[in-house]
C-alpha cells in the first residue's frame, strides 16, 4: 500500500507529477574513486540521461571511523573529469538535500521514530560482551553468527526501566519473511529470504548514527530515487532494504545490480591495487573519454556488432545508445589493450579540434618542461608540438610517451654542434633541397639524401652521422630520415641552420 507522504509534498510532486527518472551515485568517502566506482556512477549517469532523468550524488559518511579527509572532493573531481555531470548533490544544488548523510541525522531519527511507533523496530540493550559471546558460540558450533533477536521480546515495562536507567542501546529492525522476490533489472528474479540467514539488523547505532542500510533506504525514498543501479555485492542487502520499504509503507525504487568488474583473466580487481584508481589513470595520461569507453566495453549495455571497428563514442552517443537490458549479468572483463586503443583514438580526435589541439600542445609543453628541468634550450614552439602530435597519434598511446628518452631529440636542441664536415656550398645545396621537398616522409627523405650524397660526392654514412649530430646532438638514435620526418621540415631546417658554422653563413630563404 502506498502511503501519502504529508511531510514531503515536494517529493510527491517530483515523483508523481513528472514521473522523472532519478538515480544516484552514493559513495562512502573512504578512499579514491576506482574503476568499479566509476562504472557504477557511469551506468547510473547513462541511464538517467538516456531517459532525460537526473543524476544525484550523495555522500554516505555515516561510518565516521572510516572517513578519509578530502576524499569527497577528490571523488567529485574524478567524476567531473570523466564527464559525469552532477544534477544534484553537495555543492551542486537540488531541493531534496542535504546530500551528505552526516547532515541528515535529524531526518533519520524522525524516521526511526516512525518504525518504533509502528512496531517494526525495537530497542536493543544487548551489550558488546553478550554479542561477542553469541559470535563465539556460533563459531564453536560452526554456525554463521547472527543476533538471536533477544530484545524483540522485551516488554514495554522492561524497556522503560532500562531507558530510565540510561542504558545504552541501539535500534534494530524486525526482519520478516519475504513474500515477493526481488525483480532485478539485470539479474531477473532473485529469491533470498534474508530472515533465514540473518538476525535483526541494527538500523541506528548507540551513537545515534544510522547504519548504511537504514540511511540508504530513507534517503533513496526522500530523494525521490526511482532506480538504484549498484554493484552486485549489494544484492543481498537489497532484500533487506525491500523489507524496510515495506515497514515504512513506501514504494521501493527499481533495482539493478551490476556484475563484478574483473581482470581480463577473470581474477578479481583489488581495491587496494593503486593502479585501478582513477587518479592513477589520469596521472599516467589517459584521456577521460577513453577510460569511459574502456569501462563500458567491459560491462555491456550496447548493441554490439561482432567484428565492428573500434569506435570512441562521446558521452552523448553513449547515453543515446545505452540499453539497460543489454547490461551483462556475467562478470565484466576489462581488456587493457582496448584502453590503449581508445586512448589513441581520443588523441587523434583531440587533434582535430582547434581548441582541444591547443590544450594538448600546452600539456606537452608542461610535460617536457617537467621532464627536462635543467634545459633552458627546449624546442617548445606550438607548431613543432602540433606536428609531433600529428605524427604520434598513429603511433603512441599516451602523451607521456613523447617524453621517453628515445624521443628526447624532439625537445632538447643540440648545443654547440657545428656542421664542419660539409663545405659551405654543400650545406647550401642540402638546405635548398630540404626546403624544396613537399613530401617530408622518411622514405622520400632517404632516397633524396642518398642521391644528394652521390651528386655531391660525399660518403653517405659519414654525411648521415654528421646530420644526426646536427639535428639531435646524438651519436646514435633513430634513423636520420625518420628523425627529420618527426621533427618536420621547419624544425629540421632550423636546426641545420643553427648548426652552420658562422663563416658559412649567411644563407637566405630564396637561395
Ligand atoms: N555507500 C555505498 C557504497 O559505498 C552505497 C551502495 C549503494 O549504492 O547503495 O558503495
Q: Dump pLDDT digits (tens) for 26-36.
A: 999 998 999 99
Cα(505)–Cα(193) distance, integer angstroms: 90
Cα(473)–Cα(468) distance, integer angstroms: 7
Q: Averaged over 323-349, what is the pLDDT?
A: 93
Model pLDDT, residue 280? 93
User: What's the CATH class of domain 424-498?
Assistant: mainly alpha
Q: Whose CA is nearest to atom 3 of ligand 1?
A: 27
Model pLDDT, residue 140? 95
Cα(203)–Cα(114) distance, integer angstroms: 13
**216 pocket-lining for ligand 1 (C-beta < 6 Å):** yes
Half-sphere exposure in the Cβ direction for 453 (13 Å, CA): 16
Cα(477)–Cα(484) distance, integer angstroms: 12
| CA–centroid distance, residue 492 to ligand 1 (Å) | 56
Cα(71)–Cα(52) distance, integer angstroms: 29
Q: Which segment of 334-343, 387-396, 416-425, 426-435 scores lowest on mean pLDDT?
A: 416-425
What's the helix, strand, coil split of the chain in %, to 5?
50, 10, 40
Please calculate the CA angle 183-185-186 and round it to the nearest 5 degrees: 115
Q: Residue 160 above 90 pLDDT?
A: yes
How far lies 392's CA from each of 50, 324, 350, 397, 487, in Å? 35, 37, 12, 8, 11
Q: Which segment of 38-47, 417-426, 488-497 scores lowest on mean pLDDT?
A: 417-426
Element (H, E) at 279: helix 278-284
**30 pocket-lining for ligand 1 (C-beta < 6 Å):** no
Q: What is the pLDDT of residues 268-309, one digit of tens each?
A: 887 555 678 999 999 989 999 999 999 999 988 998 777 789
**346 pocket-lining for ligand 1 (C-beta < 6 Å):** no
**350 pocket-lining for ligand 1 (C-beta < 6 Å):** no
User: Under a CB-based contact definition with an 8 Å cutoff, are residues 278 and 291 in contact?
Assistant: yes
Percent of the chain exceeding pLDDT 90 equals 76
Q: What is the pLDDT of residues 455-479, one digit of tens each?
A: 999 999 989 988 998 898 888 878 8
User: Under a CB-based contact definition with an 8 Å cutoff, are residues 32 and 278 in contact?
Assistant: yes
Strand 182-184 with 22-25, pairing = unpaired
| CA–centroid distance, residue 34 to ligand 1 (Å) | 14
Residue numbers annotated as active site:
271
| CA–centroid distance, residue 100 to ligand 1 (Å) | 13
Cα(375)–Cα(423) distance, integer angstroms: 31
**211 pocket-lining for ligand 1 (C-beta < 6 Å):** no
Q: Averaged over 332-352, what is the pLDDT?
A: 94
Question: Which of ligand 1's atoms lies nearest the C-alpha of 25?
Answer: 8
**256 pocket-lining for ligand 1 (C-beta < 6 Å):** no
> What sign for the dihedral angle of Cα 109, 115, 121, 125?
positive
Cα(484)–Cα(445) distance, integer angstroms: 8
Q: Averaged over 354-370, what is the pLDDT?
A: 95
Higher pLDDT among residues 23 and 511, named by residue: 23
Q: Per CATH, which fold does 278-346 belong to?
A: 1.10.1160
| CA–centroid distance, residue 230 to ligand 1 (Å) | 7
Residue 389 CA, chain-centre distance (Å), reads: 25
How far lies 13's CA from each of 68, 97, 176, 223, in Å? 37, 16, 31, 12
Model pLDDT, residue 422? 81
Q: Omega of the bond prior to 235 within 30 degrees of 0, cis?
A: no
How far lies 78's CA from each of 29, 178, 287, 317, 501, in Å? 13, 39, 12, 21, 53
Question: Which of ligand 1's atoms lies nearest the C-alpha of 230?
Answer: 8
Q: Averaged over 432-445, what is the pLDDT?
A: 94
Give domain limits for the chain: 278-346, 353-394, 424-498
Model pLDDT, residue 1? 37
Residue to probe by mutation, ligand 1, list 23, 25, 27, most atoms within 8 Å of CB: 27
| CA–centroid distance, residue 30 to ligand 1 (Å) | 11
Question: Which of ligand 1's atoms lies nearest the C-alpha of 231?
Answer: 8
Q: Whose CA is nearest to atom 5 of ligand 1?
A: 26
User: Under a CB-based contact definition with an 8 Å cutoff, are residues 301 and 327 in contact?
Assistant: yes
**29 pocket-lining for ligand 1 (C-beta < 6 Å):** no
**230 pocket-lining for ligand 1 (C-beta < 6 Å):** yes
Amino acid at each position: 500500500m502506498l502511503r501519502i507522504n504529508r511531510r514531503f509534498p515536494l517529493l510527491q510532486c517530483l515523483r508523481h507529477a513528472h514521473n522523472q527518472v532519478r538515480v544516484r551515485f552514493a559513495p562512502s568517502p573512504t578512499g579514491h574513486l576506482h574503476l568499479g566506482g566509476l562504472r557504477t556512477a557511469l551506468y547510473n549517469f547513462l541511464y538517467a540521461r538516456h531517459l532525460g532523468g537526473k543524476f544525484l550524488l550523495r555522500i554516505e559518511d555515516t561510518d565516521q571511523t572510516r572517513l578519509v579527509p578530502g576524499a569527497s572532493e577528490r571523488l567529485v573531481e574524478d567524476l567531473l573529469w570523466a564527464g559525469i555531470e552532477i544534477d544534484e548533490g553537495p555543492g551542486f544544488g537540488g531541493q531534496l538535500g542535504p546530500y551528505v548523510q552526516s547532515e541528515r541525522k535529524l531526518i533519520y531519527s524522525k524516521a526511526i521514530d516512525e518504525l518504533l511507533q509502528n512496531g517494526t523496530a525495537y530497542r536493543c540493550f544487548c551489550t558488546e560482551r553478550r554479542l561477542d559471546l553469541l559470535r563465539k558460540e556460533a563459531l564453536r558450533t560452526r554456525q554463521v553468527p547472527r543476533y538471536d533477536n533477544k530484545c524483540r521480546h522485551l516488554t514495554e515495562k522492561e524497556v522503560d526501566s532500562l531507558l530510565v536507567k540510561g542504558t545504552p542501546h541501539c535500534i534494530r529492525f524486525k526482519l520478516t519473511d519475504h513474500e515477493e522476490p526481488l525483480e532485478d533489472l539485470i539479474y531477473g528474479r532473485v529469491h533470498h529470504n534474508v530472515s533465514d540467514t540473518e538476525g535483526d539488523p541494527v538500523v541506528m547505532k548507540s551513537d545515534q548514527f544510522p547504519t548504511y542500510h537504514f540511511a540508504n533506504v530513507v534517503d533513496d525514498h526522500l530523494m525521490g530515487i526511482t532506480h538504484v543501479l549498484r554493484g552486485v555485492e549489494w544484492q543481498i542487502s537489497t532484500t533487506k532494504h525491500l523489507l524496510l520499504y515495506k515497514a515504512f509503507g513506501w514504494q521501493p525504487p527499481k533495482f539493478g545490480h551490476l556484475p563484478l568488474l574483473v581482470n581480463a583473466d577473470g581474477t578479481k580487481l583489488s581495491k587496494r591495487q593503486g593502479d585501478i584508481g582513477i587518479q592513477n589513470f589520469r596521472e599516467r595520461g589517459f584521456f577521460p573519454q577513453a577510460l569511459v569507453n574502456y569501462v563500458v566495453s567491459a560491462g555491456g549495455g550496447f548493441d554490439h556488432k561482432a567484428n565492428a571497428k573500434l569506435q570512441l563514442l562521446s558521452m552523448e552517443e553513449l547515453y543515446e545508445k545505452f540499453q539497460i537490458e543489454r547490461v551483462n549479468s556475467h562478470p565484466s572483463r576489462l581488456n587493457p589493450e582496448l584502453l590503449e586503443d581508445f586512448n589513441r583514438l581520443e588523441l587523434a580526435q583531440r587533434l582535430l579540434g582547434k581548441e582541444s589541439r591547443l590544450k594538448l600542445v600546452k600539456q606537452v609543453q608542461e610535460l617536457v618542461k617537467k621532464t627536462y628541468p635543467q634545459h633552458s634550450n627546449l624546442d617548445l614552439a606550438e607548431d613543432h608540438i602540433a606536428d609531433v602530435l600529428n605524427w604520434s597519434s598513429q603511433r603512441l598511446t599516451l602523451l607521456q610517451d613523447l617524453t621517453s628518452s628515445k624521443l628526447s631529440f624532439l625537445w632538447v636542441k643540440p648545443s654547440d654542434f657545428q656542421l664542419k664536415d660539409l663545405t659551405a656550398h654543400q650545406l647550401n645545396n642540402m638546405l635548398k633541397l630540404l626546403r624544396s621537398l613537399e613530401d617530408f616522409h622518411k622514405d622520400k627523405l632517404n632516397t633524396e639524401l642518398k642521391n644528394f650524397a652521390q651528386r655531391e660526392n660525399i660518403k653517405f654514412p659519414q654525411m648521415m652521422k654528421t646530420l644526426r649530430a646536427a639535428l639531435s646532438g646524438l651519436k646514435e638514435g633513430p634513423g636520420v630520415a625518420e628523425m627529420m620526418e618527426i621533427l618536420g621540415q621547419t624544425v629540421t631546417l632550423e636546426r641545420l641552420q643553427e648548426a652552420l658554422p658562422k663563416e658559412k653563413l649567411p644563407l637566405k630563404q630564396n637561395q
